[in-house]
Structure 1
Amino acid sequence: MEATTDIEKKYKKWIIVLSIAIPLVVAVLFGVKIEGAEPLRFLPPIYATINGITAVLLVAAVIAIKNKKVKLHEMLMKTCIGLSVVFLGMYVAYHMTSESTEFGGEGMIRTVYFFILITHIVLSIVIIPLVLITFVKALAKRFDKHKKIAKITFPIWLYVAVTGVIVYLMISPYYA
Structure 2
Amino acid sequence: MEALQPVQEQKANRVINILALVIPVAVAILLGIPQKVDLGDWTTYLPHINGLINSLTAVLLLLGLYFIRQKNIIAHKRVMLAAFTLGSLFLVSYVLYHLTNKSTPYGGEGWVRPVYYFLLVSHIVLSVVVVWFVLRAVYFALSGQIAKHKKTVKYAFPIWLYVSITGVIVYLMIKPYYIH
Do they superpose with TM above 0.5? yes
Q: Paired residue for 1:154?
A: 157
**Matching residue of 1:89:** 92
Whether the aligned pair in 1 keeps the contact of 2:36 and 2:102 (CA below 8 Å) is no
Checking the alignment, whether the CA contact within 8 Å between 1:8 and 1:140 is kept in structure 2 is no
Indicate whether 1:34 and 2:36 are aligned.
Answer: yes
> Is contact 1:127-1:153 (8 Å) kept?
yes
Identity between Structure 1 and Structure 2 (%): 45
Q: How many residues align?
A: 173
The question of whether the paired residues in 2 share the 8 Å contact of 1:130 and 1:149 is answered with yes
- Which stretches in structure 1 are left out of the alignment for 5+ residues? none
92-101 or 30-39, which deviates more = 30-39
Correspondence list, 1:58-137, <5 A = 58-137=61-140
- Aligned-partner Cα distance in 2 for 1:144–1:37: 45
| Cα shift readout 1:107-131 (whole Å, capped 9, x = no counterpart) | 2100000000000000000000000
After superposition, the C-alpha distances for 1:5-42 in whole angstroms (9 at most, x for unaligned) are 43533311111110000001101111234344424111
**Counterpart contact for 1:61–1:73, Cα < 8 Å:** yes
Q: Output the amino acid matched with 2:143.
A: A
Q: Distance in 2 between matches of 1:103 and 1:127?
A: 25
SS at match of 2:102: coil
TM-score, normalisation: structure 2: 0.91
Aligned residue for 2:91, secondary structure, equals helix
Distance 1:34 1:174 in 2: 19
SS in 2 for 1:104: coil
What SS does the corresponding residue of 1:58 show, helix, strand or coil?
helix
- Do the aligned partners of 1:50 and 1:87 also contact (CA within 8 Å) in 2? yes
Residues of 2 paired with 1:25 and 1:143: CA distance? 31
Distance 1:139 1:37, change over 3 A: closer
Gaps of 5+ in 2: none
- The residue that corresponds to 2:17 in the other structure is 16
Structure 1 length-normalised TM: 0.93
What does 1:47-66 align with in structure 2 at a 5 Å threshold?
A: 47-66=50-69
Partner of 2:166: 163
Q: Is the 8 A contact 1:8 1:137 kept in 2?
A: no
Tell me how far apart the structure 1 counterparts of residues 110 and 9 of structure 2 sit (CA, whole Å): 48
